[in-house]
Structure 1
Amino acid sequence: MEKTRQRNWLDCAWSGVRIAFWWWLMETSLHFLYQEAILKNMPYLFSLPKDQFVALGMAMGIFFHLKYAVIFGLPSLFAKLDNMDPLPGPICLIRVTLYSKVWREFDRGLYQFFKTYIFVPICAPTFSLPRKIFGVFISYGFVLLWHGFYHHNIVWIGLNILALFIEMGSKSIYTIESVRKWREAHLSDVAFRRILAWCHILPFAIGLYSNFYFLGGSDVGAAFVQRFLIEETITVRWPFLLIISLGWFHANTAMEVDRLKSLKKTKKD
């Protein structure tokens, strides 16, 4: 007879403290930080310096993550108190460069549902490229149906599909044996990762713009497109060069964090 696993009271207590802290911090911050109200005031929004303007976008994403850390954390805490093994909480959006990872590790239950009941049944048994593409459209279409066919949601889903196809296409190129062998012969792992960091910037930027539409609505998303994509990126002004340089450092940091967490998990297993 299998022995009942011992309840980890220390983990339960620590989870409760963390949830209470983030809940308190979020509620307290809302008395002093008004990013949601500012983002709804278009004339004031366009009058802000661009460094302050982009900080509002980051604040919007951080508060979204904190909200769901609490929303997912509370039932997770009760599951631990019942000696169950709940899924981990949502991944921090700050350490993500590929938004396919957000779909996998933010709402993990939703991802498992899509994978088990939508994507895999559509792709099986061949898992050919046409089946995978069709599975992607059906999965994201389900999300769009759930959130509603509004302009900002359509843009959000469309940009996420575009970023995912860029990522899938890049990975497909590397699966070509001649490409992989050339890389192994001419590029070290460190040099290859530095190149990958540059490659991450395009899907990362697409993912950011998609989130601005999703979290802020069509007007806020259009404001970010106007002030950064049209005014800075297309014209290749110095803020654009600064941002992509910082993005390269950020991508390297994100990949290193993923590597260290993977090593830690391997040692734990």
Structure 2
Amino acid sequence: MQNVPLDYCISFATVQSEISLAVCRKLSMYCDLPKVEVWLYFVLWISGVLYSMYNVYLSGIYFDGSIHGVFTSGWSFINRKKDVSDFEWAMWVPFLYASAPWVCAHLVVAEIVRYAFKELLCLWYLMISTLYLLLHVGSVATLFMLMEPCLMYLLLQFRSRILIYAAGVFLLAFHNIDSRMNFLSIPYEYQYMLMISAAWIYMRGQSYCLDKLATVNTGPSVSDFVMMLGYCFYFPMLFLGPLVLYQEFEAGVLKPYAPWTLKRVKTFLLNVVRYSWWMLFLELFLHFIYVGALQMDVWYVTRLGAWAHYGMGYSMGVMFQMKYVITYGLSCTVARAEQIQTPNHPKCIGRIHLYSDMWRHFDQGLYFFLRKYIYIPMLGERPSFAVRLLASFTCFTFVYAWHRIHMFVLVWSVLNYLGVTIEAFSKAIASTTHYHKYEKYLFSTPQNIRRFHALIATPLFMMSALSNFYFFAGMSVGNQFVRRLFEGSLQENSTLFLFCYCCSQVSIEVKNWEQRKEKKQM
């Protein structure tokens, strides 16, 4: 073979590297690393997760659970106690079982109405939800739930965007009054479910009004009013979400009837089985990982070893994610069966390392709402960087108020805003020509640049995890995790940083794979 000059080889490699880097930047992707290195990241990250959770399991063996109501008898064939301390899950599971026949009736009758009396579809949505409320919480509570969308529809007739936003702020403040449902004289469990439902109805009412303001004014009509109420009280998503924007809901409702083919039935049943399986998995998980019980005994948490601490944090994330995968997944399965486009369920927390990606992919309905009705309207035609930061701040202020005004929610919101802001600053700096020159000079190859980006993203990923611990478990547990990090030994913190770095690389690799898959499907 003919010899090639060394300087030509170096020059060719440099050009090839620059082309590779340019292509990756254009596609918002990072370049590939050697397969052995990628596999090492995967193995280390998964091994770290499993080993840390094993330490949580061991901690549960010696946990006496002295707090009343933390444990109950588990499945008899497992012969282990079950952690029932998670209040949300303890409320949601019985509701999911009890509402299943109602969801079936909703879907069956809705398809008949869509086929024969399409113009009455939203009336049926309103009727079945109203009937459910009347039977379970009574007429007073049902009328109370109807008041807010009725008020919003009345205000809509003034065709003022400022008025709708002002009413939204007022109602948001009203939703933070804890005693507002005490007069209903119903058990606290029902009050709790109504408070969740009211939060979703609030967002749907805002979505309906703001979308309608963007259309031609046709004046008030009975059909529009019923459409709004049918949207606000859409039964599969009435209590546990997620949020579907009105534009998507309307498009689904107005679609013509589509016969149920074998493929459509198969898709529906497979998704029901899929999310039912995850529900059983979470129930099984609570027989071995007592993460909810640990949250209620901070004294015991302070005595956990480093690996048990890490595992407890990850387990809290798994518990939180799985609750919403199941509830959102089941609700969206029914909605998609009715041809309504819905958000995706939350992505796995073990494969996301950026704040911005977590906000995009955990609760997509909330993200779409914030982006469409708060962030984009505030930007204007030529938004500056300062305006973008202000719009982002307004979004997180809304998130804080919507999740109820508590100190742990404030800490979570502030840390999330700081994380997103740091990301924004980093991306702004990274987009400059001078930075590209320095980056290319210092790291020379796209592979090294990827390693560097994962390295500097790791502290933010750790900060993201700490902020979420406040949201999952409150101030005491959140403070304990922060204290553990700052008081941990160099060896412990270095080990934690190594495994978080591996997570960053795993997240980048999975994101690359998803983008390649999307590109092939285009």
For residues 180-219 of structure 1, give each alpha carbon's deviation from its aligned partner in whole angstroms, at most 9, with x where no partner exists: 2443465221111000010111211111110000001000
**Equivalent residue number for residue 251 of structure 1:** 504
Deviations along 1:245-268, whole A, 9 cap, x unmatched? 122222111100000011011111
| Pairing of 1:48-87 with structure 2 (within 5 A) | 48-87=304-343
For 2:521 and 2:258, the matched residues in 1 are separated by 21
Q: Hey, what's the Cα distance between the residues in 2 that align with 1:162 and 1:130?
A: 14
1:77-102 CA distance string (max 9 Å, x none): 10222233322111111111112111
CA distance in 2, matches of 1:3, 1:195: 53
Paired letter, 2:417: I
Equivalents in 2 of 1:198, 1:137: separation in Å?
Answer: 27
Residue identity matched to 1:242: T
Cα offset for 1:3? 10
Amino acid at match of 1:251: S
Partner of 1:226, secondary structure, is helix
Confirm whether residue 191 of structure 1 aligns to residue 448 of structure 2.
Answer: yes
Match of 2:286 among 20, 26, 30: 30
Residue 480 of structure 2 corresponds to which residue in structure 1? 223
2:381 corresponds, among 125, 145, 152, to 125
Unaligned runs of 5+ in 2: 1-255
Partner residue of 2:271? 15
Report 1 or 2 for greater relative contact order, CA contacts < 8 Å, sequence distance ≥ 6: 2
Q: Deviations over 1:106-153 (max 9, x none)?
A: 111111111111001101211211111110111000011112221111
1:159-198 correspondence runs (5 A): 159-184=415-440, 187-198=444-455
Q: Provide TM-score, normalisation by structure 1.
A: 0.92
Q: Partner residue of 1:213?
A: 470
Instruction: Give the TM-score of the pair, scaled to structure 2.
Output: 0.49
Larger radius of gyration: 2
8 Å CA contact 2:268, 2:333 repeated in 1: yes
CA distance in 2, matches of 1:74, 1:47: 39
Identity %: 28
Asked whether the equivalents of residues 282 and 319 of structure 2 are also in contact (C-alpha less than 8 Å), the reply is: yes
Structure 1 residues 3 and 180 mapped into 2: Cα distance closer, same or farther (>3 Å)?
A: farther
Q: 1:92 aligns with which of 348, 351, 371?
A: 348
Q: 1:33 to 1:242 in 2, by over 3 A?
A: closer
Distance (Å, rounded) in 2 between the aligned partners of 1:3 and 1:181: 57
> In structure 1, what residue type is equivalent to 2:466?
Y
Q: Which residue of 1 aligns with 2:247?
A: none
* Contact 2:350–2:503 (8 Å) recurs in 1: no
Aligned length: 264
Give the C-alpha shift of residue 225 in structure 1.
0.7
- Aligned to 2:513, which of 252, 257, 260? 260
Q: Gaps spanning 5+ residues in structure 1: where?
A: none
Equivalent position of 2:186 in the other structure? none
